[in-house]
Structure 1
Amino acid sequence: MSVPHRLYGRRSELEAVAALSDRLRSGHGGALLFAAEPGLGRTALLRRAALGFTAGPVLHTGAVPAESALPYSGVHALLCAAGDVPGAPSAGILPAGLEPGGLLELLSGLAAGRPLLVCVDDAHLWDAPSRAALGFAARRPDALRSVGLLLSAAAHRAQDPDFAGLPAVRLGPLTERAAGDLLDELAGEGTDPAVREALLHEAEGNPALLKVLAGRLSPAQLSGHAPLPRPLADADALSRTVGGRLAALPPDTAFVLLLAAAAEEQAPGAAGADANLVLRAARSAGIGPAALDAPEAAGVARCDGDLIRFVNPLLRRAVHAGASAARRRAAHRLLAGALGGDGHRLPRLLHHALAADGPDPRLAGDLAAAAAAPDPWVPALQRSLALARAAELTTADDSARTARTTAAAEHARLAGCPHRARELLAAAPEGAAHDAVRGRAELVRGALAMGDGPAGDAYGALLVAAGLLSPYDPHHALAARLGAMEAAWVAGDAAACVAALGGADPALGGADPVPAGPAPRTAPAGTAPYAAGQGACPHAPTARPPSAAPGGSGTYDDYRAGMLAALQARPEQARGPLRRVLERAVHDDDPQRLLRAGAAALVLGDITAACRLHTRGLAVGRARGLVALVPRLLEHLAYAELRAGRHARAGAHAREGLRAAHRAGQRNAAAHQHAILALVASVESDAGAVAGHVAAALAIAGPHGLAQAATLAEWASGRADLGRGRPVEAAARLGPLVRAGPRRGHFAVRMLAVPCFVEAAALAGHPDDARGAVEEFAAWAAHGGDPQAPALLARCRALLADPGEADALYARALAGHELADGDFEWARTQLLYGKWLRRRRRPGEARVRLRDALVAFERSGARTWVDQARAELRATGDVAGGEPVGALSCLTPQQLRIAHCVAEGATNREVARRLSVSPRTVDHHLRNVFAQLGVRSRVELCRLVDRAGAP
């Protein structure tokens, strides 16, 4: 293992250090306090600051805990660190009668007018007089001429009176990316991906723990050729990282902390331990509440209302792992005895199970039954822990143990803990388990791959699950088939979607299923999502059986029938079953079925119902802690908002969904959220945001085979080019997505991108390239799955029509927009119609259309489209489009438009295509522009336009 040569993920902290150094170079003083929990790198940060300071001498010292009671020992250590600095007292001798202000004078004398950096690590461990003198000096930056004080302290001591008023920076855990970069330097980039994921998960962003864990592994373990130690972060590793402040705690205090850690263990993910429960258990052991005072003073835990909270999750883990097995069992027995009443049956049984020291089939059965109780409000992670412990207590019956371990893995997945779910599946016995049990395990594996893995892997696992489950559990076999359909959907394989549902492979040829997007992930403007529980068990053991659930098996059957009919281009047969799915959802409260019903609403074009169902499903999913469902619900809700033309709302949901996807460890969901945000940014005309989200989506979509996310991202890029007035580039990008052929875009998205491609091709001067796509779009629109399609079809035909037909087609398009939501598409039609009218020399009519477009674009936040509408208005002579400013005010509207196009880098021929004029006309106007503005080159024109500002 190599030694890190740089800091990762500390950019803002290093910028604060650089700002302090700049102050010193300018002759000013300053101070900065870094506060952090153990292992987060405050010592490394001070070391890096000291090594990087080149403007003058550096005094760098730390604290010696053994001298913390010796007055002025800290100041003495600092003076000893001065070494050969001119003006330093010989051998670090302290001046007689040193007062708090004396350190300020000493430092000023050492600086002697030149920059001096003083780094004090673990300043909270200095003796009290030294801390007082240090704080006194640090709070007087004006008196510290050219002297900088860079201090570090434990997070719980940053508010001590000695440090009050100092500018403080709190260090948090490293981000996943920064921790991954550090691990690559520590262990090498050849680390097995599964080992890498395990190390990052165990370290929780703590660089010191990550270094300890990586250092424990042999090359064979790092490469995945040898098994990892279990637990990966054992008591020794945790103690070396955060255990320093635990060693000095009194025995009674240590046991109370163990009780708190054990109480939190049975409810992982909780905000803390129930203080009343812990105190009742402590009293049973003869320990009073005063024992809780010491951990708060030591910065280990604190009482916060009715909860005992550890200040750092690693401290809780260190307390629990550091105790002997006998003491842990004793703590769980005390906690079980302190719980009473039927409402605490599951936690009481779980504590009894955690106190057991060997197999106990009866206790295992009782615990498993309690974990499977039909109470939707029991946290999924608590169920997972209970079922996993029940499996451990089960005697050597491979099917029973595997069944309980698999159920534990499924609940861990639903709780947003895919790493724990994978560990549980890997720990399941490999004996001759029953096919039904093996099928449930494959179901969970497929669901995990759908969240973070290649879509093809998920498809294979889910079809295997369906085959294994079919003879014994038709309900979950159907869930597996629906999940396999989702995997094929995101991969862009329509035939595999049909095969997964049990239909014959359709002879789809060049035609797309109808409507576009009736299944898994919904694309805007006509694509509906699939919601059959992420491809996993839609009815976990906590749910009612299918016969008792509202619309349980009936909803599955109808959803399957409706999706199959839609995929096979039979829209009439699809509507009835999907409408029944919607009707059953009226009184349903299962978030997975609500997700499915929202998908059906999108297929049927009922956007209002889709928003309502997804919103309700989101509320229920959050309340029940189904973390794995939240990103999908937010994704589908964002799609519904996009179809309604509410881009700002769609962006808000997608941004929240992106955060939820990262929390749940679902990179595939994150890719789709990035694609949605790229589409939103393409409307808002934020080119940088579009490029960033597209790159993020494609980085995941490529290796995982997510064809839908990739196509949506490419569509967003093309639409952004179109909004910026670059039709040639837009047509080149969108053409491969919509044309027939093996490399075309996703079958559920390509029709949705056709209107953008037709507009780009027409404006680029190649209308014939789009005629085939328009006819295919017309066939798709005839099925009626998208309320916007008739208006968009009329607009496409108007763009390609002869002048005598275009007028009526634009009017038909606008009439169609009145029957469907979507201000943005309506405004685009108005803009295109206004452009056409102006070129037909009908400026009065054009102004009406362009003004309406301008207002709608402003309401939609589409900035570049606003600029287009204003430029067109100016070209009609309408001052409402905004008057040019400064030197550009002398130009005519047409000259102004040409000047801006040239300033963007367009050639005369490209400008001609964009403005629908001849290159000779552009050349004529451009010569006049140069003459009127007094410029001699395109470079000078570009600078002048930039200074004048965008139109």
Structure 2
Amino acid sequence: MTGETTVCTAVRIHGRGAQRKALRALLDGLPSRGGRLLLTGEPGLGRTTLLQWAARSFHAGPVLHLGTGPDPGAGPTAEQLLAALRTAADAAPALVCVDDAHLWDAPARTALARAAEHLSAVGRVGLLLSAASDRAVAPEFAHLPVVRLDPLAPSRAAALLDDMTDGAAAPAVREQLLAEADGNPALLAALVRRLSPAELRGHRPLPGPLADAAALAEAAGGAPAVPSGHARDLLLTVAAAVRASDGPDADAALVRDALLRLRPASRPGARSQPLPEQLAPAGDRLRFHSPLVRRTVYATASPDARRAVHRALAEALGNGGHRLPELLHRSWSLSGPAPAPGQGDDLARAAADSTVTATYRLRATAYTRAAELTADAARRAERYTAAAEQALLGGCPHQARPLLAAAREGAVPAAVRGRAELVRGLVELRDGPVGDAHQSLLLAASLLAADAPADAASAALAAADAAWAAGDLSACLATLGPTAPPRATAAIPAHGAHAPGAGEQRGPRGTPGPHGRPHTRPAVRPAASHPAHPSHTSASVASAVRDHRIGMRALLEGRFDRAGAPLGQVVRRGLTEDRPEVLLRSAAAALLLGDVDAARGAGARALAAARQLGSDRLEPQALEYLAYAELRAGRHPQARAHAEEGLRTALRAGQRNTAAHHRAVLALAASIEEEPDVVARHVAAALATARRHGLAQALTLAQWAAARADLGRGRPFDAADRLGLLVLPGPGRGHFAVWRLAVPCFVEAAVLAGRHEDAREVLVDFAGWAAFGADPQAAAQLARCHALLAPPERTDDLYRRALAQHDEAGGDFERARTALLYGKWLRRRRRPREARGRLGAALAGFEGCGAGVWAAQARDELRALGAAPQPGGDGAPTRLGRLTPQQLRIARHVAEGATNREVALTLAVSTRTVDYHLRKVFAALGVRSRLELARVIGQAEQDQEARRAAAHQEKTGAQP
């Protein structure tokens, strides 16, 4: 027996949905035609596993596996391969699999590529190749269609780890394994195998480094072979330089300088030697094709070789003003385990120096190394805490957690413990159970109260944010403290004044809506180089925290007269500030007050500021506020665009809770379109995280989206059942600040389902919410709800009042919903001329905002009147209706002459995303060129304008 943990072998494939879809398309087409695909990815990502999956999934004929590469000169010719393929396909379709095709010699690769080119002549043969991307793609395969494997997303990697270990890993161990594996399944398996059961369960310390040379080499298939000593030194120098770089590559000039210092004798002819195949030039930079191979090169080098390379890099940087990288390389060139006197202090001072240009991640690396070189336990803990702060600011919460664990070793001052708990709470707030975050942040507030009262206030406000996300009104009120608090410099106690009893579900009338969730993300303070010199939150940030807390407390208590002034102050600060934290608070306060234009402005400026600072932590949160503001304004396509980008950035930054909120927004946006599968997918993903981490707000939003999709598709009974659980009093009622927004949907569904008394019951609270004025649509929605329940003699007046209020508030979708209900009522009252006008206006409104599923209802009503849909009903507008809002935006930009790169820059997405959506646009519209697309878009715009003009004329003619 060994001390290793047994890794479960029957592990299902996690993720890879897009790749399997591409492989399935190849397999499904083989009975009628040939095909070829190149499956590529860095070592360890599962190319062989997917190849085997494709082979097992193919049942229409034989599967042939060609070996890992014939002997040089003994490989088949292209003609021999083609003849073999023809023979294989004579009786039935065939699939030919070639794993690790990059290992074939050049003549064999050429023959294989030529055979692939002629597969169409052979017919019914599929050729599936795999090749590692740790080197440039062989030119013989460059023309093949490519399916790329990327590292697993954090959630997929976590699920894979649970499969491997049967969920036995302790939470802290789990986080470190996932961080070290960085989405690589083979490396994750190697790391798990390295641990004993006691280490896996957290009963014994983990070995260090966790990803050692043996584990990395196992995942990478061994250390890379190099043709010369110069190539070996070059690879190691690039790998070492990246460790102190702000990105995944290294300065080529720096590498050359270091190499000349490392081997002066190699100066003649060094420039003429070709780059090793593991490296790729990128302008004046050098990078590895594979991050795993880069790590393996560094880990498998001898300690003396690594120290020599770092020494050469430090000398090369000595006169260039690159203080922080120079100090890092010098520290790594040291020998022996004993800390070097003064070396850690120099690193910490440079990391804390605001005049030094460096990213958050590089500063985190510097603080970590400074801690490793520090003998004093208290100062070492302070530096690990500072490293965790910088890692959090850089959007790397997975790196912050092990740093915080290292900071716990030994006795440390209360102020340092408070800073550590503040970082821990912020990490959990975005990527963990929010109940745990609440407790950590309360502890941070109490620990920081004496030495850093402003930071304590920020921690307390963050604790309120955690309670808000959890839907715990009592805890939120208690954390916010009394309505008339002491000055900002006074410490905030861990428990505030008396709040409503525990377990209370009904919030006060007028509680802010979900998109006015309080912004309580305290600025993680710049860590000082020494704990005796704390850097407190600035006065303006402290004032914003104080005003936000006062206003939030007043709102939650229903004391609206006391909420407006402090929240207004927070909004106004956003007009002059350029710090993302203050701008985000301004956006949140504007949403609470119902000023969506101010919220959008502050959110956009916060996004720009976060991007300028390179803060991956704040970018997804800025996009979250922008998405919420667009939803509040009824602009669903814009909300979807922000949420799509926000979801990508949140997942990239390891913020699963923020990602859940973005998925809820995406579900709400998709619920008005003809995309029930999209709604279901986002709802399921949002609920999975919301239930696991206690996110009552995201859970309520996602359930509302599912119910609204039911209502739009004409399933009022299902919608009423779902929404009833959210809005009716009882233990299952939704988040205290969210459920009111779902009331109009519930009233509509309940009336259609015959549950009139339930509908009347919830309108009392909703009337108070509408009177508050924080939701611009609420007054019109209230009138519409009353119209649904009113006797016939009052219905006309209520619908007209609702439409007039919609005109004041804006929002095409909600106005179109009112017009649709009014038109339905008029048709059933046998008033066809008026009904036609209202239904035509509803149809135009729904099509204008991409609400395809609701537009279908309006068309059905018009047909029931004997009136065909208005001009273009079966023409260009309907064709455009097949596109998602994102596809429509891209199509319009392309029709105006923009290139794919220009569209990507305009929409803040990748060029690959534009390429993907544009292919979908061409397929949906049946066009083959950009010129043809421009004609379709232009004709559609003209027809839509004519339709709106006709609808307006008919509507105004129908006015009494």
**TM-score interval w.r.t. the shorter chain?**
0.7 to 0.9
Pick one of 32, 38, 44 that aligns with 2:43. Answer: 38
Identity rate, percent: 52
User: SS of the counterpart of 1:309?
Assistant: strand
Deviation of 1:871 (Å): 2.9
Matched, 1:282 2:284: no
Unmatched runs of 5 consecutive residues or more in structure 1: 76-98, 886-951
Deviation of 1:476 (Å): 0.8
Q: Contact 1:684–1:860 at 8 Å: present in 2 too? A: no
Pick one of 696, 714, 717 that aligns with 2:703. Answer: 714
Stretch deviating more after TM superposition (234-243 or 672-681): 234-243
Per the alignment, residue 575 of structure 2 pairs with 586
Per the alignment, residue 906 of structure 2 pairs with none
Q: Contact 1:682–1:720 at 8 Å: present in 2 too? A: yes
Per the alignment, residue 363 of structure 1 pairs with 343
Q: Give distance in 2, aligned partners of 1:227 and 1:233.
A: 14
* 1:31/1:460 CA distance change after superposition, 3 Å: closer
Give the partner amino acid of 1:710: L
Q: Give distance in 2, aligned partners of 1:458 and 1:406.
A: 17
Pick one of 506, 512, 536 that aligns with 2:507. Answer: 512
* 1:776/1:266 CA distance change after superposition, 3 Å: same
Per the alignment, residue 899 of structure 1 pairs with none
Per the alignment, residue 416 of structure 1 pairs with 395
Matched, 1:846 2:835: yes
Per the alignment, residue 212 of structure 2 pairs with 234
Deviation of 1:14 (Å): 6.1
Q: How does 1:45-444 map to 2 (within 5 A)?
A: 55-56=61-62, 58=64, 60-63=66-69, 68=72, 71-72=73-74, 74-75=75-76, 101=79, 104=82, 119-141=97-119, 150-155=128-133, 159-163=137-141, 165-176=143-154, 179-180=157-158, 182-184=160-162, 186-242=164-220, 244=222, 246-267=224-245, 270-285=247-262, 286=264, 287-288=266-267, 291=270, 296-297=275-276, 299-340=277-318, 343-357=321-335, 358-374=338-354, 378-396=358-376, 398-444=377-423
State the Cα RMSD in Å: 3.3
Q: Give distance in 2, aligned partners of 1:148 and 1:293.
A: 42
* 1:744/1:479 CA distance change after superposition, 3 Å: same
Give the partner amino acid of 1:505: H
Q: Contact 1:738–1:754 at 8 Å: present in 2 too? A: yes
Q: Give distance in 1, aligned partners of 2:473 and 2:63.
A: 69
Report Cα offsets for 1:724-748 as digits up to 9, x if no partner: 2332322222223222333321110
User: SS of the counterpart of 1:837?
Assistant: helix
Deviation of 1:600 (Å): 1.0
Larger Rg: 1
Report Cα offsets for 1:125-163 as digits up to 9, x if no partner: 444544444444443336657776554444367744544
Deviation of 1:185 (Å): 5.0
Q: Contact 2:133–2:289 at 8 Å: present in 1 too? A: no
User: SS of the counterpart of 1:551?
Assistant: helix
User: SS of the counterpart of 1:303?
Assistant: strand
Deviation of 1:29 (Å): 6.5
* 1:293/1:569 CA distance change after superposition, 3 Å: farther
* 1:775/1:132 CA distance change after superposition, 3 Å: closer
* 1:430/1:779 CA distance change after superposition, 3 Å: same
Q: Give distance in 1, aligned partners of 2:324 and 2:838.
A: 66
Q: Give distance in 1, aligned partners of 2:808 and 2:252.
A: 59
Deviation of 1:499 (Å): 1.1
Q: Contact 1:529–1:636 at 8 Å: present in 2 too? A: no
Deviation of 1:439 (Å): 0.7
Give the partner amino acid of 1:469: L
Q: Contact 1:406–1:441 at 8 Å: present in 2 too? A: yes
Q: Contact 1:492–1:747 at 8 Å: present in 2 too? A: yes
Unmatched runs of 5 consecutive residues or more in structure 2: 1-5, 483-496, 875-960
Report Cα offsets for 1:514-542 as digits up to 9, x if no partner: 6433xxxx62xxx4132232x56366669
Per the alignment, residue 772 of structure 1 pairs with 761
Deviation of 1:492 (Å): 0.9
Q: Give distance in 2, aligned partners of 1:617 and 1:714.
A: 29
Pick one of 741, 750, 756 that aligns with 2:739. Answer: 750
User: SS of the counterpart of 2:517?
Assistant: coil
Q: Contact 2:591–2:629 at 8 Å: present in 1 too? A: yes
Q: Contact 1:31–1:166 at 8 Å: present in 2 too? A: yes
Q: Contact 1:295–1:301 at 8 Å: present in 2 too? A: no
Per the alignment, residue 911 of structure 1 pairs with none
Per the alignment, residue 517 of structure 2 pairs with 529
Pick one of 488, 494, 519 that aligns with 2:467. Answer: 488
Q: Give distance in 2, aligned partners of 1:674 and 1:25.
A: 39
Q: Contact 2:518–2:588 at 8 Å: present in 1 too? A: yes
Deviation of 1:178 (Å): 5.4
User: SS of the counterpart of 1:683?
Assistant: coil
Deviation of 1:10 (Å): 5.4
Give the partner amino acid of 1:466: A
Q: Contact 1:671–1:700 at 8 Å: present in 2 too? A: yes
User: SS of the counterpart of 1:273?
Assistant: strand
Q: How does 1:650-665 map to 2 (within 5 A)?
A: 650-665=639-654
Q: Give distance in 1, aligned partners of 2:722 and 2:282.
A: 56
Deviation of 1:676 (Å): 1.0
Q: Contact 2:101–2:109 at 8 Å: present in 1 too? A: yes
Matched, 1:676 2:665: yes
Q: Give distance in 1, aligned partners of 2:871 and 2:35.
A: 49
Q: Give distance in 1, aligned partners of 2:125 and 2:804.
A: 73
* 1:548/1:826 CA distance change after superposition, 3 Å: same
* 1:331/1:676 CA distance change after superposition, 3 Å: same
Q: Give distance in 1, aligned partners of 2:295 and 2:762.
A: 60
Deviation of 1:468 (Å): 0.7
Q: Give distance in 2, aligned partners of 1:794 and 1:563.
A: 28
Q: Contact 2:471–2:695 at 8 Å: present in 1 too? A: yes
Deviation of 1:104 (Å): 4.8
Report the TM-score when normalising by structure 2.
0.81
Q: Contact 2:223–2:296 at 8 Å: present in 1 too? A: no
Give the partner amino acid of 2:432: G
Q: Give distance in 2, aligned partners of 1:649 and 1:295.
A: 49
Pick one of 854, 858, 873 that aligns with 1:869. Answer: 858
* 1:341/1:221 CA distance change after superposition, 3 Å: same
User: SS of the counterpart of 1:432?
Assistant: coil
Per the alignment, residue 564 of structure 2 pairs with 575
Q: Give distance in 2, aligned partners of 1:44 and 1:717.
A: 35
Q: Give distance in 2, aligned partners of 1:395 and 1:491.
A: 41
Pick one of 415, 422, 447 that aligns with 2:426. Answer: 447
Deviation of 1:471 (Å): 1.1
User: SS of the counterpart of 1:308?
Assistant: strand
Report how many residues are paired. Answer: 844
Q: Give distance in 1, aligned partners of 2:58 and 2:859.
A: 53
Stretch deviating more after TM superposition (109-118 or 416-425): 109-118
Stretch deviating more after TM superposition (219-228 or 850-859): 219-228
Q: Contact 2:710–2:719 at 8 Å: present in 1 too? A: yes
Q: Contact 1:402–1:437 at 8 Å: present in 2 too? A: yes
Q: Give distance in 1, aligned partners of 2:780 and 2:85.
A: 77
Pick one of 785, 790, 793 that aligns with 2:782. Answer: 793
Q: Contact 1:256–1:292 at 8 Å: present in 2 too? A: no
Per the alignment, residue 450 of structure 2 pairs with 471
Deviation of 1:653 (Å): 0.8
Stretch deviating more after TM superposition (410-419 or 785-794): 785-794
User: SS of the counterpart of 1:431?
Assistant: coil
Q: Contact 1:621–1:630 at 8 Å: present in 2 too? A: yes
Q: How does 1:755-834 map to 2 (within 5 A)?
A: 755-834=744-823
